[in-house]
Each structure stands twice: as C-alpha cells, then as structure tokens.
Amino acid sequence: MSACLTNLRAQEQLGLRTGSFSGVNALSLNPAAATGMPLAWDVNLIEAGIFGQTNYAFVNNGGLLPFWRARKKLIFDVPETVSSTEPPISGAFIVDFRTNRQHKHLAIISNITGPSFFVSLPDGNKIGLISRARLMLMGYKVPSVLDYYTYEAKPNFENFEVAPFHTGLMSWNELGLHFSHEWETWYGTFGFGITGKYLQGYEAAFFDNNKPTTIAKLPGDSLTSISADLSYGLTLGAFEENGYRFGPTGHGLGLDLGIQITGEGSYEPHSWRVGIALLDLGRIHFDQLAQQHRVQIDNKTIILDTEPLTHFQRTEFTDTLIGGFSEQVLGDPRASLADNAFQMWLPTALSLQGEVALTDDFFLHGLLIQRLAYRPSVSRGNFLALTARYEKKYWGLWLPLSLYNYTELQLGLALKAGPLTIGTERLASFFSNKQWDGLDFYFALKVPPFSLQKTLKPQRRHRRGKSPRCYEF
C-alpha cells in the first residue's frame, strides 16, 4: 500500500467486522472469520475511520455537530481556574480536566485499508491480500497523581510517587498475505486462518516509567527527584534540518492467527459461531534516524529546570530537549543514549467472539478484546461489546453496546446499504455532551455484494449424503 496514504482507523469497527457478509474486512478481528461465510470472493475498495478518547480532559458542551456549526469561529479555551490571568473567551468551548482517582488513558487510533480481497478455492481454501496503513498513539495506566488539578495542588518540596506507566506512538504500513481453510463437521464447519504481514515503520516514539519514581515540585517550574528508571526512544525524521524526511525508518514482520467454529441449525447462513484469535503479534525494528535512551537515578538528588527544555525550534529538538535533559540529569548531553535503534511491538491482543442467531436475519454478537502488553509498544485498548444485528445480503443494521477499557460505556450504530457501510461506536460523540471526551467514525466501500454471493443456503460437500456445494454469481 502506498505509504503516502493518510492513516485513519476507528475503534473496533463492529459494523465492518462482525457481519455474516463482512468478508475481507472481518479478517482484522479474526483471520478465520472468512470460513463459514456464504461468499465466493470479496473485495474491499477503501475502508477508513478515526477514534480518539481520553479520560484526562473533556470539552464542556462539546460534540462533532456543535463543532461543525461553530466551524467558522471554532475556539477552545480553559476555565478561569486554569488560566487565572483572564476569563475564558466568550463563545469558546471550554476544555477542563477530570478530578477522579482513576488511572488515565489516551488513545488516538486511525487507519486506511486500501484495496484488499480474498477468493475461495476448491476444497475449503481461501487466499487473500490485505493492504493497510495505521497510526496509533496510546498511553495507559497514567497515575492520577498527574491529573492537572491534583498535580497543581501539590505543595513545593513535598515528595510524591509516580507509579509506572507507558506511552507509545507509531505509524506503519502493512501488506498481508492471508490463508484460511474450513473443514466440514457434523455440526457445521471448523475454520483456521492466518495472515502474515510485512511491516514498514515510518515514525515511532515511546516513553516508559519502569518503576515508581519519587519527585517533588520546586518553585519556578522545576522538579527534583531521588529515584527514577526511564526508557524512551524516537525516530528523528521530523527534526531534520532539510525538512521532514518522509520514508520508512524500520521494518518488521507480524502475524494474525485464529480459529472459528460455525454451527448449522434452524437458521441460515448459520445458527451460531464462536472464534478466538491472536492479533498483531510482531514488532518493527527502527534502525534509521532512531535513538533509544535510558535514565536511571538511585538515591541521588537531581534538580531539573524545565524552562530551558520547552523553548526550541523544530531542528533543535534533539539537542535542546533530549540532550538538555540528559545533561541536567546525568551531567552529559549524550550520556542517556543507549542505542541508535529500538524495537516497537504491535498492539498485540487476544480476541474472543461469539454469536447466536435468533432468526435468519437477527443475531446477537459478543466480543472481547484483551490487550497483551509488551514494551515498548503501542498497546490496544481493552474492549467488551454486545451487538444486536439485523442483516440481509444488501443491507444491515448494527446496534452495539460496548465498554472501552472496562470503564467507558458507549452506544454505537452502523448501517450497511449495498457496497457502503458507515458507523460509530460512540454515537453520543456527534451530539452536544456536557463532558465530551472522544469521537469515533468509520466507513467502507466495497465491490457490490450481488456479484459476490454464493447461494444463501449452500450445500455441504458430500456431508451425510448431501449434494456438493454450489456457487452462484
């Protein structure tokens, strides 16, 4: 896939992944999902979406529609308690900060899936090709002691502890080769699927607080610390003197594995199905324009003046921020440099799916996504969803109720009309919210489904005396 594509991706995009006719788009949730589908072949032309969410801050009375109505004069400001020098600008959307004691998280996820397909071969085999560009910015388990109001209320010279937390940013391209096979069984089909991916990494950064860090505030935007263990790294293409250097800075391999069991019964195309998959197992080795750093402080008082670290030009980023921090903490601007390369893990996760048909067209689908965190990485958010779906060959309606990171309850909606599907897992984000803290939107355009379908009631291959399966185009 061309590297120049802008990355867009939504959350888990249930309207694209969980249908009986989802085709190649379902493979990112389970590479065995194509088995048991009444499709001879499937082609995705374009799929895109965007998701963002945080429980650190929010916008008062914000929403996508209110932002659109104010687009000619869209202004954001902070409350007077944050910027005490003057009151907020009249008519501005006010950005404020949460005060609860929950761990904080931040997620910005985006992707474009380009031309992708699979085709059914004889004897239950399917092969396919998937092209995708992805961008993820993730931070999780950020301790509440770093909440804006909590931190500002800390008195100077008072030690406090910051628990371990991890953040990561990465943009990359994937080119995947897919293979799946389904076996006829007495209850329906058993399917296995695998997608091997060649990865091109473009930009990446990470910051890991590896153990509890003891710090204290000092007057004048300074800090002191007596213990710390920090790992961080980044690519430097954006800070080149001759302008942004666009191109791959790393390469790697990835893998998706999955199985799916589909059951026949009273309903078509199936009565039930269950699946399990390991997603995004792999990593990218960044070895061009890359730096990895390590800072360790053990029972030694360090005073950090943050003022000179926050004023620099784009091309001065490495010397001023990275080198300046190392010099203040370790006494040498290059002392923190551990390597001119680093590795970033993909957002590895375990995916569990289950579905039961209530009629030929109405289904209840359950999904659990549990991250498997490696470091450094861009870690996937945990996700639990129950989706009611009414689906026919040419149109469908999805109504998912989901829990993001097991804390954020959200209601979604997705619609399929012929080759076009649009949806969101955060329907409320489009309307005015007292505390607006995220958005989600996705769509996909495919080759019209009427050219893809097998018979809706396929005959199994000589199973228990039945006639061979037939294809209908």
Range ranked top by mean pLDDT from 92-101, 123-132, 403-412: 123-132
pLDDT attached to residue 83:
62
Q: List the chain domain ranges.
A: 14-56+98-465
Q: What is the DSSP string of 192-254?
A: EEEEEEEEEEEEEEEEEE-S-EEEEEETTTEEEEEEEEEEEEEE-GGG-TTS---S--EEEEE
Amino acid identity, residue 97? F
In the structure, what pLDDT confidence band is assigned to residue 85 with cuts at 50, 70 and 90?
A: low
Q: What is the separation of C-alpha 231 from the centre of its chain, rounded to a whole number of angstroms?
A: 22
| Phi, psi of 427, deg, nearest 5 | -60, -35
Q: How many whole angstroms separate alpha carbon 155 and alpha carbon 157? A: 7
pLDDT in tens, 413-428: 999 999 999 999 999 9
DSSP labels, 148-165: HHHHHHSPTT--EEE--E
pLDDT at 454 over 50: no
Mean pLDDT score, 75-100: 82
Which residue carries 């659109």 as its tokens?
A: 68
More confident residue, 22 or 310: 22
Distance (Å, whole) CA 370 – CA 382: 5
| Range of 217-221, 342-346, 408-412 with top mean pLDDT | 342-346
Q: What is the mean pLDDT of residues 190-211?
A: 96
Least confident of 176-190, 230-244, 404-418, 456-470: 456-470
Confidence (pLDDT) at 64: 92
Among 216-220, 342-346, 458-462, the range scoring the smallest mean pLDDT is 458-462
Distance CA(78)–CA(38), nearest Å, equals 53
Does the structure show a pLDDT above 90 at 87? no
Mean pLDDT of 444-462: 57
Cβ contact 442:13 at 8 Å: yes
Confidence category of residue 449, pLDDT binned at 50, 70, 90: low
Count of beta carbons in the 10 Å neighbourhood of residue 48? 22
Give residue-wise pLDDT tens across range 334-381.
999 999 999 999 999 999 999 999 999 999 999 999 999 888 999 888
Q: What is this structure's pTM?
A: 0.87
- Tens-digit pLDDT profile for residues 51-78: 999 999 999 999 999 999 998 889 898 8
b/e per residue, 96-110, with b = 16+ CB within 10 A? Answer: bbbeeeeebbbbbbb
At 100 the pLDDT is 84
Q: Are the beta carbons of 285 and 250 closer than 8 angstroms? A: yes
Q: Identify whether the C-beta of residue 103 lies closer than 8 Å to the C-beta of residue 55.
A: no
Contact 112, 47 (CB under 8 A): yes
| Per-residue model confidence as pLDDT tens digits over 266-294 | 888 899 999 999 999 999 999 999 999 99
Tell me which residue of 240, 235, 198 sits closest to 344, measured CA to CA: 235
For residue 434, pLDDT beyond 90: no
C-beta of residue 311 within 8 angstroms of C-beta of residue 345? no
Q: Are 137 and 171 in contact (CB under 8 A)?
A: no
User: Which pLDDT band holds residue 313 (cuts at 50, 70, 90)?
Assistant: confident
